[in-house]
Structures are given as C-alpha cells and as structure tokens.
Structure 1
Amino acid sequence: MKILYVAGREAEYSRTRIVIAALRARGHDLTLCLPPDRRFRHYPSLAWQVFRNAGQCDVVLVGFYGQLLLPLVWLATRKPIVFDTYITTYDTMVFDRAKAKPGSLKAWLYGLSDRLSYRLARISILDSQHVIDHFGRLFNCSTHKLRRLFLAVDDTVLHPRTETPSPATLPTPEKPLLVHFHGEYTPFHGVSTIIQAAKILQDAAEPVVFQVVGKGITYEQDRALAAELGVANIRFIDPVPYPDLADLMDKADICLGIFGNNHRAELVITNKVVEAIGMRKPLITRDNAPVRELLTHDETAYLVPPANPEALAQAIRTLGTDPAKRDAMAQAGYARFLEYGTISQLGAGFDRILNDL
C-alpha cells in the first residue's frame, strides 16, 4: 500500500521512528512529510507537502502530534485519513500539566482539537480499550472509529543482550540490587515516589541502589526532595541516546514504570513499561486499567498502588529477595512483549487497521 505519513514530530522522535520502521517492515511504500523539529510553525509547510503528494498515495497516516495538524491535512486532501492519536491533548494539558481547569474555555479548546481530529479521520488509534472507552465518555461520541493498538518499541536496539539470561542472585552490600528508571520528570511519572521509596530502603540499610535517567518539568523539584531527604542511594543521570539507554537497562536487576496519582496516570501504559519487558527485566509499575490489558500482576509485572512509596519499597524488597520470582517474571513479561510489543507486531496491527478502510 502507498502511504503518505505526516507527523508533527521529527523523524528522530521515538513514535515517529517506530511507526516508520513498522510500516516499512510490512513492505508499504512510504512518502514522508516530517518537520525538522517539534515547532508548530512547520505545520503549514507540512500541509502543503500533503497537498502535493497525497494524490500518489492510497491513504494518509497522521502521526503524533497530530491534533492541530490533522484539520490542515483534511483541507489538503480527500484521501482517507488514519490518525495515530497516541495521546489526547485534553488529558495531557488539563490533567497532567494542569495548563487549564476542567470546564474552562481553554480546556474546551484543548478538547476541541481532539474532537475535531476524531471527526475528520476515518479511523483513529489509541493504545488501550480503557482509553477508547474514556474517549467516548469524555467527548460524548461513538467509539466505532477507534482502534486499539498496544505500544511497541524498537526491538532492533532495545532487546535482551544474551539469548539465555544469567540466573538472578540475592543482593549483597558488595553487589546491591540495581533498580532502573528512565523518562521525563513529569507529574504522572511520579519520580518523587521513587525518591521516597529509595529513602525507605536506605534507612532500612537494604542493599539497593537506583539509577534514574532523564530530565523534565519536575526535575528541580524532585532533586530538591532527594537533597532534603538525604537520599544517597540514587545516581541521577542526564538523558542518553537510545542505544545507551538499552545498555543501562541491561545492567539493571529491576526496571520501574510510572507511579503518579493524577488522571493522566490512570490512562497510560507508557513506553518505559514496554521497554522494560522488551529488555526481559522484571517490571514494577503502578496499577491501572490500561496496564492490566497488557500485563498481569505477579506474573508478567508487579503492580503497586499509585503514589505509595511504602508499597514500591516493599515490591522492590519482594522481588529483590526472591531471585527465582524475578527470573520467572522477566521471562513471562518478555513473552508478552513478543506477542504485542515488537516492530513486527506493530506493523501487523497497522495492517489490520488499514485493511478496515
């Protein structure tokens, strides 16, 4: 199939990169209309590129961030449009970043971008059935044009480094348990919960150390919390290239997902969750409905209540002191990843959706 792929984020952005790889792996002929960076000023130029090239294609796939881009694309072509929604503007800006209060004019405008893009696209894609149902309730619309497609990651870069894993061992003061987190410092990621859990384990003299990779809007606040609590068992690392991130994860004994307690955190699985099971690592993350569509507590992941440092610390203890459980969970999570989280599986999912047009 000839597909024109237009997105609001550059070719190096993770979602853009993985979608291109998945479609090419399925043999699709792609025409790319991508900006050099994330700035909105490129959108008119992208719409013009769509106008010039869409006639040669069978379908237009609009990628992230596409809510403001899609109306321009719709004006530029009458080819069928599939929208890889990824996340909603309303949930991000109102509930996660608190840029507007529910019921305000600004919040209504954020929601309008989601409603309009849904109406103009032939099919829209979200990453869980829970979020599809939430979308229908939030915008009082039918969900018949929405499709579920689980998140996937670039398994050519992010994959277990050995075919057969070495058996896990009990941590010791000389070789402590290494717990890994990476991502943006945002409210829904809940880095403060990780810091407080690290403090609990430090005070109990547990042989556990953390590596926390990233930056973001709560970075200064979270670093100040770590300093205030006197946390000394966390190594804070600036963002690194994707291959280097895989190397850091490979050294870890346990990987962490998200732990925030806001509305956005109730609606997401997140890349880091899929990346952890893709690296064949035991995963601890907050419990929510989307995660339970993909993973099962105490089998393929260890799920904890949100914003609960005590529960997170206990989960780390539980897995840390049971190497056999860690090994079994890592293997079971990896099997689930092979079912849904690879480039190949993402491409197959896109094919099913495109064949519905």
Structure 2
Amino acid sequence: MKLNVVVYGVVAGSYRTQNLIRSLFDISEINLFYLNPGLLWERPSLWNKIQRMIVELTVVWRSDIIIIPATRHQNPYKYKLAKFFKKQIITDFYISYYDTFVTDRKTIAKESPEAAKHFKLDRNAILSSDRTIFLNGSEAEYYTRLLDIKLSDIRYSIVPLCVDARQKAANPFANGTTDKLTICWWGSYIPLHGLDKIIEAAHLLSKIMSDFEFVLFGNDDEKAMPFRNKIRELGIENFVKIDNSKSFHNGQLEPFLVSRCDIALGGFGDSEKAKNVFLNKVADAFAFGIPVLSMKTKAMDTLLSGDDIVICDNQPQAIVDAVTALKMDRERLKKIGENGYNRYLDTFSYEAFKSRVKGVIQPQLNGN
C-alpha cells in the first residue's frame, strides 16, 4: 500500500521545496499531497477559518509522513497537530532564524525576547521531528550546537543544495579568447559574503595590473549604496561595477555569466555562519563550469575535494594573490572549472537531489 506524504507549508519562492515536490512525485510508492491552507486565514469570515481547520485536520489525519519544507519550521502548531495524530515528521532545516538574525546579521540583540523566541522555535522544530534534513554535515553540527542539541541524539539526513542545470560557460580567459579577466560575484548585500573585502581586493589588484574587472550583481539599490560609495572613495570605478538589474529570476544574469565570467567569487565573511555554511552561489557556479575562488568553510570539507575549487584566506591580499596566480595559469583555471562542473553533476544536480530525497523516505517505505 502506498504511503501518504504531505508537504505542509508554503512553496512559492522556494526553489528547494519546488524540487522537493518534484522529486517526491517521482517516487511511485507514495501518494503526495501539498497542504498550504494559510490563504484561508487571510480571509476574514468565520466560515473560511472553519474550512481551514477542517482541511488541516483531515489531511494531517490521513497522512503517514508530514514534511515541513525549507524555512517553514517556525509554526509550532503544525508539529503539535502532527504529533497529536502520531505522524512521522521530517523537517527540512534549511536555515536557523536565530542564527540568521542574532549571530550572523546581528539585527536582534542576543538577550532580547525576540531572540529567545527564535531560539525556542528553531530548537523545537528539530526536537519535534522524527528526522531532520540538513544541507551538509557542517551545518548539522553548527546549528545543533548553537541550539543546544546533541547531534547524536537526533535522527538526521544530509540533502545538499539543488541548483538548476545551466548552459556551460565559455570561460573566455581560460580558453584564450581574451586577456582581460572578468571576476564576478552575485548575491545579497549581507555580511555573510564579505563584500567589503572583495572591493578592497580589487583596489589592491588595481595597483599591480589593469586588464581585469570585478562585476558585482546584487538585488537592492539602497543596500548597495555603501559599497558604491566605497568604490568611489577608492577611485576604482573603472575596475569595479555594481549591477542590480541582472538576476537569475529575470533571465539576464545567466547570459552574462555564460559569455563573460572567468572566475566566480564565493564568500569571505567573518561570522561563525560564514565559516560553516556552503553558499548557493558556489553550487550555481559549478553548474556553469565556472572556476570558483572562495574562503574555506567547514561545509566544503564535507562536500568537495581540493581540486573542485580554489581556496584562499578571507583577507583582501590573499584574494589578490590567488587571482594573480590564476591569471598566470589558464590551464589550471580550465581544470578547476571542469572539476566544479563534475561536482555539480555528482552532488548538486536535480538527479543527485532526487536520489538523496528518496533515501530519506526509503526507511518509511520499508516499514522502519
């Protein structure tokens, strides 16, 4: 008999959860349901609220496995409802809100009631789950330690990032079609990425060479202003450009990276999170076959080999030294790009993701 599996939470805007649902559809031994009754709460009538309660009670009652999708674990009533009906709960623990706002971005004071609330909700999600999914072993250790949970006391699985298949990059510098090195960064303007160090590295590099450019793709003009000002103060406008108009979402970033990008930059932040996690942009670059330069993180030790990526310290001069060495070795650049692409296929592709998801569900299919 097939198992009834319910993905319980919002999917819109979550590429990971969309792929989760896609992969679950490919498992013939289950019936898949998607439950997001939240919109009913936004309607004011009592009847709509009653409808929501009936829908939630019925679907959870008829389920065998409840999956709480990425970033949707801070809803304790969902865990209570699933526990009441004695259902298996799997949580895709994509981020810790406590870590994001308190220890990394530092936008919430550690001793505040709001911080305590995030701590409790994050911790409850893991402890209430029969199995927790983490992106890698490093983040599993980091988040459980942060939330005062012994990793050995919980059941967990590792399901790494999943990114879209991309058109293979031209890698023009590595392939000898240009002598100008184009170095790209993309992401959001948060401390995790160490963007200030990247800009300082460009400044130092401009003193020893001229045939290069840094192109930084962000998503917020207001948050980009401090970085634009720093570029102007350092007098490196001819070497560093900020472009907030191109993104994967609007389809304009991919063509640029395919035709122009020679080196993709990972993260260079100082926080504990920066030293532990695996950034999406690294997996994105692997999918293009673009060589990646990044600081080392503990997550990289669990997912990569030394030939997949170029590692340097998270200091401006170290970035300069690494770029200078790569500029003198086109063959190494080409090889790193090829290795990164193979790592994408083995670890970060949809096929790899689907296989891992089935591995998470398999014990229940076997009756364990």
TM above 0.5:
yes
Would you say the 8 A contact 1:48–1:76 is kept in 2? Answer: no
Deviation at 1:159, TM superposition (A): 4.2
What residue in structure 1 maps to residue 73 of structure 2?
A: 67
Structure 2, unpaired ranges of 5+? 44-48
In the aligned structure 1, how far is the partner of 2:325 from the partner of 2:14? 36
Deviation at 1:285, TM superposition (A): 1.1
TM norm structure 2: 0.84
What residue in structure 1 maps to residue 219 of structure 2?
A: 215
CA offsets, 1:211-262, max 9 Å, x none? 2111258422222211211222122221524443322221211111111111
CA offsets, 1:16-51, max 9 Å, x none? 3332333334456432234899xx979x99887543
Please state whether the residue corresponding to 2:241 is helix, strand or coil.
Answer: strand
Aligned to 2:97, which of 81, 86, 89?
89
Larger CA deviation: 341-350 vs 217-226: 217-226
Would you say the 8 A contact 2:296–2:312 is kept in 1? Answer: yes
Please state whether the residue corresponding to 2:13 is helix, strand or coil.
Answer: coil
Deviation at 1:103, TM superposition (A): 4.6
TM norm structure 1: 0.86
- TM-aligned CA distance change 1:223 to 1:351, over 3 Å: same
Deviation at 1:168, TM superposition (A): 2.0
What residue in structure 2 maps to residue 30 of structure 1?
A: 32
Q: Which amino acid aligns with 2:324?
A: R
Q: Which amino acid aligns with 2:95?
A: I
Would you say the 8 A contact 2:92–2:134 is kept in 1? Answer: yes
In the aligned structure 1, how far is the partner of 2:321 from the partner of 2:214? 15
In the aligned structure 2, how far is the partner of 1:107 from the partner of 1:343? 35
Aligned to 2:232, which of 206, 227, 230?
227
Aligned to 1:249, which of 254, 257, 268?
257
How is 1:314-329 mapped onto 2 (pairs within 5 angstroms)?
314-329=321-336
Aligned-pair identity in percent equals: 22
- TM-aligned CA distance change 1:159 to 1:125, over 3 Å: farther
Deviation at 1:75, TM superposition (A): 3.1
Would you say the 8 A contact 2:275–2:298 is kept in 1? Answer: yes
In the aligned structure 1, how far is the partner of 2:42 from the partner of 2:234? 43
Runs of 4+ with deviation above 6 angstroms: 44-48
Q: Which amino acid aligns with 1:6?
A: Y
What residue in structure 2 maps to residue 353 of structure 1?
A: 360
Aligned to 1:151, which of 145, 161, 171?
161
Would you say the 8 A contact 1:67–1:114 is kept in 2? Answer: yes
Would you say the 8 A contact 1:254–1:281 is kept in 2? Answer: yes
Structure 1, unpaired ranges of 5+? none
What residue in structure 1 maps to residue 193 of structure 2?
A: 189
CA offsets, 1:167-225, max 9 Å, x none? 824586xx511111111110001111211112122222331112211125842222221
2:115 paired with 1:110: no
- TM-aligned CA distance change 1:196 to 1:25, over 3 Å: farther
2:64 paired with 1:58: yes
Q: Which amino acid aligns with 1:66?
A: R
Please state whether the residue corresponding to 1:184 is helix, strand or coil.
Answer: coil
Aligned to 1:168, which of 137, 150, 174?
174
How is 1:207-356 mapped onto 2 (pairs within 5 angstroms)?
207-216=211-220, 218-232=223-237, 233-238=239-244, 239-242=246-249, 243-251=251-259, 252-297=261-306, 299-306=307-314, 308-356=315-363
CA offsets, 1:94-130, max 9 Å, x none? 1122023445443322211111111211111111212
What residue in structure 1 maps to residue 12 of structure 2?
A: 11
Would you say the 8 A contact 1:184–1:214 is kept in 2? Answer: yes
In the aligned structure 1, how far is the partner of 2:182 from the partner of 2:344? 22
CA offsets, 1:131-160, max 9 Å, x none? 2222333233232322222112122xx242
Would you say the 8 A contact 1:7–1:34 is kept in 2? Answer: yes
CA offsets, 1:298-347, max 9 Å, x none? x11011222x1111122122222211001111111111221110111111
- TM-aligned CA distance change 1:315 to 1:352, over 3 Å: same
In the aligned structure 2, how far is the partner of 1:351 from the partner of 1:86? 18
Would you say the 8 A contact 1:34–1:46 is kept in 2? Answer: no
CA RMSD of superposed structures (Å): 2.8
What residue in structure 1 maps to residue 46 of structure 2?
A: none
- TM-aligned CA distance change 1:107 to 1:12, over 3 Å: closer
In the aligned structure 1, how far is the partner of 2:302 from the partner of 2:107? 30
Would you say the 8 A contact 1:280–1:334 is kept in 2? Answer: yes
Please state whether the residue corresponding to 1:356 is helix, strand or coil.
Answer: helix
Aligned residues: 344
Larger CA deviation: 19-28 vs 84-93: 19-28
Would you say the 8 A contact 1:67–1:89 is kept in 2? Answer: no
Deviation at 1:352, TM superposition (A): 0.9
Deviation at 1:161, TM superposition (A): 5.7
